[in-house]
Amino acid sequence: MTHLRKMMLEELERRNYSQSTSRAYIHRVFDFTRYFKRAPDQLGPEHIREYQAYLFRERKLDAGTVNAATAALRFFFVGTLKKNWSVAETPYPRREFRLPKVLSQEQVTKLIDSATTPFYRVLLMSAYATGARRAELARFKIADMDIDRMVVHIKGGKGRKDRDVMLSPKLLVELQHHLDRLPRRPETWLFPGNRWHTGQNPISPKVTWTACRQAARRAGLGDEVHPHTLRHCFATHLLEAGADLRTIQMLLGHRDLEETTIYLHLSRRHLNATASPLDGLTLASIPNDDDE
C-alpha cells in the first residue's frame, strides 16, 4: 500500500488537488482496502459494489458520503492504476434532495449568546457574519481583514478559489476585543491554536464544530445545528433582506448559480410572496351542524 499511496499522492498533487481532498481520498481508499484486507490493486468493480452496499447497510452512511467514497475509488483506479471505469458497472448512488436546516435570526442570536467561552462566541459570530466554511474560518489570517475596504479576503477556499465577503462593523469590534483578550497577540493567524491560543498554527476546523454543538445544546436547538447551518443562515437571511442570488453566489463561492437557488426554498420572503392556488378559488360555504 505504501508504494500505491505514494503513486496516488503524486497523481493528486499533479492535478493540484487540495490537501484536504487528498487526505480524504487517501483515507477512503485505505478504508476500502481495510474492509477487504487486500491490496487495492487486487480489487475490482465487484468489490466496489460490495463496499458501497456495506457503507449503506452497516455503517448507515448517506448517499452523499458514499458518492464521495466512490469518487475517491474512481480516482485511484483511473488516475493511479490507469484502469477503465464503467459507470454502468459501478454507478454513483442516487442522492436525496433535502433542504438544509435554517435558524431564524432570533435563534442565531440565542445560539451565539449560548457560546461557552468568549473564543467560541467570536468563532460563531465570524461564521455567521461571513458565511465561511469551517475549514476556511480556521485559516483566517489577521492580514485577511481589509479594514479600509471593510472586506474579508477568504483565500484558498473550496476548489482553491479566493473570494471577498463583507466585514461587518459589529464583527470587527468583536475581533478586536478577541485579539486583546489573547495572552499574546498573534502575528499571523486570527484564531491561533493550542489550549491558550498562542500557537504558531491555526485552530483545526473541529474547534468551530465543538463551539457550535455546545452552544446549540445550551440554547435548546438540538443536535442538528452545526457550523454549516450558520452558512445556510447567512445566505437565507441575506436573501430575505433583499440581496440578489448572484451576489449571494459570489459571497458563498458557489461555482454554479444552481447551487445557490436552494435558498429560494428556504427564504420566508419568497415563500410568503407566492400565494397558494387555493386562495384563488371561490368555494361554497359549508353549513354549520346547527343549521341542518
Question: Is 83 noted as a catalytic residue in this protein?
Answer: no
Which residue is catalytic, options 153, 158, 218, 270?
158
Which residue is catalytic, options 133, 139, 163, 237?
133
Question: Is 231 noted as a catalytic residue in this protein?
Answer: yes
Which residue is catalytic, options 178, 231, 232, 237?
231
Which residue is catalytic, options 110, 153, 218, 228?
228
Question: Is 133 noted as a catalytic residue in this protein?
Answer: yes
Which residue is catalytic, options 121, 163, 178, 254?
254
Question: Is 254 noted as a catalytic residue in this protein?
Answer: yes
Question: Is 74 noted as a catalytic residue in this protein?
Answer: no
State which amino acid sits at residue 70: T
Question: Is 213 noted as a catalytic residue in this protein?
Answer: no
Which residues are annotated as catalytic? 133, 158, 228, 231, 254, 263
